[in-house]
Homo-oligomer: A and B are copies of this chain.
Amino acid sequence: MPRKRSADFQQVKKSRIFQDVVDQIQEAILNRTLQPGDMLPPERELRETFNISRGTLRESLRVLEQKGLIEIRLGTGGGAIVKNAGTEQLTETLGLMIRSGTLSVQDIGEFRQGMEGQIARLAAQRATADDIVSLEHLVDKAAAMTEKGAVEAFLDTDQAIHKEIGRIAGNALYRYAAQVVHDNIRKYYDNFLEFTQERMEENLLDLRGIVAAIREQRHQDAASLAEQHVHRFNVRMQEKESRAVK
């Protein structure tokens, strides 16, 4: 018989009608009664359905909007649209934790380092022949950008390669986590790091090595190389920061 460690009862939250409405609509969205793209009825109609005041209903809609479950548009034909659960809320919350001092940029950089290693390892274990072709095409593109000295284009390609490796790794959570972490750390990289020709060549070498390891299914190498790649960023970040403090 499956174990049940505790009944997990919740304290009854009295009043808070709007919370009840939030729960009902959320449930409908999660069990697919309402699907992404669907529109909720207008506020004045929903008000009658639930038999509550418009103010209370609007508090419910604010909560659902903040949860990322609906999006609200103005004007004729506007209203609440059911959304796909995305990463914006995770990104925002992580951002709040950074700004409130609950997390440091160092912590995030270290986390990213380990995570990119794991992602590269999975990619090396799962890449198909087509995946390799796709990756090598991107690396060639990055090489061309390096020769031209096109920093912006190189960085875009670099990011595309990481994204492609994430796709190949085949785990949605790693993919989301990588995006959330990247979105939250990017502004620090952008503000502190200058990207020279030398740096580009260095990074291109990293990418070549990682892709080669993935191609040859050397998953341990892929993990180590990806970690080193991120580690170099982190070290540079700390150097810059400690210099800024002086």
What per-residue 1/0 map shows which CB atoms of A186-197 lie under 8 Å from chain B? 000011111100
**Chain B residues within 8 Å of A121, by CB:** 114
Residue A59, interface by CB 8 Å? yes
Docked-complex contact A66 and B69, CB < 8 angstroms: no
Residue A198, interface by CB 8 Å? no
Given contacts A62-B66, A110-B122, 18 further A-B contacts (CB under 8 A): A2-B192, A3-B190, A3-B195, A5-B155, A67-B96, A68-B93, A68-B96, A90-B90, A93-B93, A102-B172, A104-B172, A110-B173, A110-B174, A111-B177, A114-B114, A114-B115, A114-B121, A117-B118
Docked-complex contact A111 and B173, CB < 8 angstroms: yes
Of B84, B104, B190, the contact of A4 (CB 8 Å cutoff) = B190
What per-residue 1/0 map shows which CB atoms of A111-133 lie under 8 Å from chain B? 10011011001100000000000
Contact A84-B66, Cβ < 8 Å, known A5-B152, A58-B59, A194-B2:
no
Of B102, B191, B195, the contact of A85 (CB 8 Å cutoff) = B102
Residue A103, interface by CB 8 Å? yes
Residue A245, interface by CB 8 Å? no
